[in-house]
Amino acid sequence: MDKAAAKKRAEELRDLIEKANRAYYVEAQPFISDKEFDNALSELAELEDKYGLDTKNSPTQRVGGEPTSSFPNVEHPQQMLSLDNTYNEEELRDFDRRVHDILGHSEFTYAVELKFDGASIRLRYEDGKLVLGATRGDGSKGDDITQNLKTVRDIPLSIEKDVPSLFELRGEAYMEKEAFIRLNENRDEQGLQPFANPRNSTAGSLKMQDPREVARRPIRFFAFDLLIDERDDNRTHQSKMELLKNWGFPVCEHFKVCNSIDEVLETVNNWDDLRGTLPYETDGVVIKVNEERFYEELGSTSKFPRWAIAYKFEAEQAVTILESITLQVGRLGKITPVAELKPVLLAGTTVKRASLHNEDEILRKDIRPGDSVVVEKAGEIIPQVIHVVNPDRDNRPEPFKMPQECPACGEKLEKFEGEVDWRCVNPQCPPQVRERLTHFASRDAMDIEGLGEAVVEQLLNEGLIKTYADLYDLKQHQLIPLERMAEKSAQNLVEAIDRSKEQSLDRIIYALGIRFVGKTVSKDLAAHFKTMANLIHADFDELVGINSIGPKIADSVIAFFKNEKNLKLVNRLEAAGLNFTMEETENLSQKLKDKKFVLTGTLPTMSRNEAKELIELHGGSTSSSVSKNTDYLLAGDSPGSKYDKAKKLNIPILTELELLALVEN
């Protein structure tokens, strides 16, 4: 395939992928499978890389580019004002009265729409291409997070329809409730602090320095305003939303034009009842004068527009009895106190349990069994105990005190310096074993087909295994008596376990379930240490010398391998024949030994991956950012900021020809 044919094919793939994104995220009518979508994206990325095709507005940008050290400030051409809040019918009627008083007539309507509880952002399009994405900031200026927002699949990178040469829109980035719960579960598995609510997790994700990490977060987007310079006295908020939807932007389906404040209030009450059934979090309703021609006359205060207001829903609460406090053991040993409640109806569901987070939180709120407590769904999702109703009641039990031993295995609990959580560090603790086994067999770890939660539960209940090392001792005849486990399926499972011995070292490290060690860190550890033995004996200084490893991860890795029970399990895995050595490609030479390269721009004949492979084949290494430790910058066309930084640090800058000369013969 020549470059012209590659360019044509790339355009076809981009068109297919953008249409598929819109069908899935905006229209909820997917027309290709996930596998077909992934194959198209993979083919496009390969073509762009191999032939040096422009990728600025390509769907491949949604996987995220290189990290940035800071976000530049951008001025908003039109101030992003926040909305004044109301909390009851009387305040909403006051707003209506003020609008009537200023305009002196009733020749207007109200546009009513749900208020999303996320992060407000601004998007700018020029000639149908996304050129800027920014946070709201202080309303006058915000942070340029364009590369991060390009990873959000709801946001079109380009628009093929007839659109103005320049326009801006505003919208809300958010997370759906189920996605937020899964994100927190994943963070808890990695030993990280869960996010308090979807709003915080969305805002925090958008300000991450690495767009590749942002791409892994389940961020969605709704557009709620369109800004066009051309004046149109017939333009309404409703017509703008219809226009945005036609251009391919997602807009909220819960939108209504009301002719009076009474109709507005009726809509507000209906949506208050509806909110518990929505897949995303909403904290109220936005009411705007629908006709844009009245905005200038209505004006604004220094903080709020006078033509719009937000009605905030009250958080739904209920009072019930806290019957007892139980302890829950997580996969990595975290002990979470749980309030066992007398069942109570809250936000459309029956709540029986609520997290009490940790010992400090219980003592701060002085929560004790038998108390009447106020329960609220934090962010309409997670039940939590707000406060005690009757702290002065007679015969209250003593204040809560965390036990010294694990409730599941009886081992002594530990609290690490600087943390609020107590942990059980026994790798053979039954609840941990169950979760660790499921993690060990998962697709991103050892990928043992057929070893799901139900089978793990059976194996544990029958006493066939106690740790993940025991899996490699299982025989077919032991499995056949299990429920729904015939001779063929038993044989398939034994073969799947045996095949897992061939998994790479980085997958094995990830499968061990070391706290703070996710997939990316596992790959970096495997690439650096090459063997499990080297990793086991690594010291703190060597660990923190790896780019992705900080002090917390280093301490966690050292603590894991210092534990005799963990070491015994790892030794059993090695004895079972697992691959404890990183497979390496034999170098062609050592001409670039110990030399660190950074790549930037488009090279004449090689892709970046090909150049990186060439450097590594001759003993060199590559990094994503320029620093004083960089030996060479390999630069092609349109090199960007790395080129400027390299010149400032007097780092030698090579062309592709000069690199080839270094490794000649």
pLDDT (0 to 100) of residue 67: 46
Model pLDDT for residues 385-438, shown as the tens digit of each residue: 989 999 999 999 999 999 999 999 999 999 888 788 999 988 788 888 888 899
Mean pLDDT of the chain: 87
Model pLDDT for residues 315-343, shown as the tens digit of each residue: 778 899 999 999 999 878 889 999 999 98
Does 208 have pLDDT greater than 80?
A: yes
Burial 242-257 (b: 16+ CB within 10 A, else e): ebbbebbbbbbebbbe
Measure Cα distances from 327 to 24, 100, 336, 431, 497 in Å.
41, 58, 6, 11, 33
Model pLDDT for residues 300-310, shown as the tens digit of each residue: 887 789 999 99
- Apex CA 35: angle with CA 46 and CA 521, to 5°? 65
Measure Cα distances from 269 to 273, 290, 652 in Å.
7, 20, 67
Average pLDDT estimate for 203-226: 88
pLDDT (0 to 100) of residue 29: 64
Taking the C-alpha atoms of residue 533 and residue 515, their distance in angstroms, rounded to an integer, is 19
Model pLDDT for residues 480-538, shown as the tens digit of each residue: 998 888 889 999 999 999 999 999 999 999 999 998 898 878 988 998 899 999 999 99
One-letter amino acid identity for 49? D
Measure Cα distances from 18 to 7, 26, 31, 108, 208 in Å.
16, 11, 12, 38, 25
pLDDT band, very low/low/confident/very high, at 168 (cuts 50, 70, 90):
very high
User: Bridge partners of 170?
Assistant: 122, 225
Is the pLDDT higher at 230 or at 359?
A: 359
Average pLDDT estimate for 251-269: 95
In order of their start, the domains of the chain are 3-63 (1.10.287.610), 85-312 (3.30.470.30), 317-399 (2.40.50.140), 430-502 (1.10.150.20), 505-575 (1.10.150.20), 596-662 (3.40.50.10190)
Does 258 have pLDDT greater than 90?
A: yes
Model pLDDT for residues 604-646, shown as the tens digit of each residue: 888 776 888 889 888 888 876 788 888 999 998 777 778 888 8
pLDDT (0 to 100) of residue 510: 94
Is the pLDDT higher at 50 or at 634?
A: 634
Which residues are known catalytic residues? 115
Does 12 have pLDDT greater than 90?
A: no
Does 66 have pLDDT greater than 60?
A: no
Taking the C-alpha atoms of residue 240 and residue 238, their distance in angstroms, rounded to an integer, is 5
Q: What are phi and psi of 513, to 5 degrees?
A: 75, 40
